[in-house]
Structure 1
Amino acid sequence: MEEAVIAKDPQRRATWAEAATDYVLSHGLIGLSLRPLAAELGTSDRMLLYHFGSKDELVADVLRVSNDRSIAEVTALAPSPGLRDAVVDLWKVMEGDRCSRIYVEAAALGLFGSEPYASVVREANALWIGSLVGHLVRSGVERHLAERAAKVVDAAFMGFQLDLPLDVDTSARARAVADLAEAVSALA
């Protein structure tokens, strides 16, 4: 008996990538197993592999969707009145951004050269930095300064993100963000 051949459907893949991203946001990326994910999506692990080609390609799509969501939040942010305020406003977005958790997990795996993490994280980081630069420029910061500031802000925000689950003193974090904003504004 022949199995029915199901044509790959790019819309289904995109829909599943969105749903898989939601699943990973709830369950984490490290230790991701296809069977529970497939069950949550109402399909089988074989169908996921058929549409994505491999678990690595599925993970790459999840990372891209997650990054796109974060960039959309930054893009939707109203211009800030200046560099110092822009840093604080960007942190407000970043602090509540659940997608950054996936990025941090993928970046940790990418440090060891694991693929697709290393490549997708490099790609995501370039797009993310571009979104930070875009917000800073929309906030009146000259492009050359925005490019320098975005790198410093991104590095500090990653450190803040790593500390979020451990840090119970929110006033200390708020002071650190204000200190960062002050230091970055001194670049001008």
Structure 2
Amino acid sequence: MTEYVLEHGMAGLSLRPLADGVGVTHATLLRHFASKDQLLAEVAEHLRDGLARELDSHADPTGTTSIGDLARGLWHTLCDPRHQRQFLLLFELAGGRGNGGLDPRSLSTSLVHSWLAILIESLTAEGWSRADAVSRATLFLAQARGLQLDLLITGDRARVDAAFEVSLELLTP
């Protein structure tokens, strides 16, 4: 289901073509999801969980890798065109295109607060005060997402990668 939504986006998404596309009946979809909004919320959560697993896969169990090195590794993974589709869908969700009635609190938890928590925890572990960690994590996350959008629009990987490297300075004590 997530793959179908990633391929087709949210704009104009209808349950009947979705059911056909994933090989189930419309009734089956309705049994599992009370509404299109619930389906989209679960797709967004699935994507967030996948991105969190991706972040975990870059974690160094010895704790010797800096947050900057981890962020760099994750950035290069997420710039892969397959992962960029996820960001495109998340931008659609955040922009309200086609989400009809997704709970904004759920969306902010999935797209912002869960990522901030990971960054804040890492920054405080590296010695930043909580207040500084919150500010830096917020700015870094906003810059990374902006750069991801820039990359989606322009395809200028070298320029965007260079800007990402500059943004990593926010994570350096």
TM range (shorter): 0.7 to 0.9
Which has the larger Rg? Answer: 1
> Deviations for 1:9-68, whole angstroms, at most 9, x for unmatched residues?
xxxxxxxxxxx1111111112221111210122222222122211111111111111111
1:52 aligns with 2:52: no
Corresponding residue pairs, total: 165
Q: How does 1:158-177 map to 2 (within 5 A)?
A: 158-177=145-164
Tell me the distance in 2 between the aligned counterparts of 1:43 and 1:127: 32
Provide the secondary structure at the position in 2 that maps to 1:165. Answer: helix
Find runs of 4+ consecutive structure 1 residues off by over 4 angstroms.
Answer: 134-138
Number of the residue aligned with 2:93: 106
**Would you say the 8 A contact 1:109–1:117 is kept in 2?**
no
Cα 1:39–1:91 shift into 2, 3 Å? same
Number of the residue aligned with 1:33: 14
Tell me the distance in 1 between the aligned counterparts of 2:79 and 2:163: 13
Q: List runs of 5+ in structure 2 lacking aligned partners.
A: none
Q: Percent identity at matched positions?
A: 29
> Deviations for 1:79-125, whole angstroms, at most 9, x for unmatched residues?
37334434423322332334222211100007x99521523321202
Over the aligned positions, Cα root-mean-square deviation in angstroms equals 2.7
TM-score, normalised by the number of residues in structure 1: 0.74
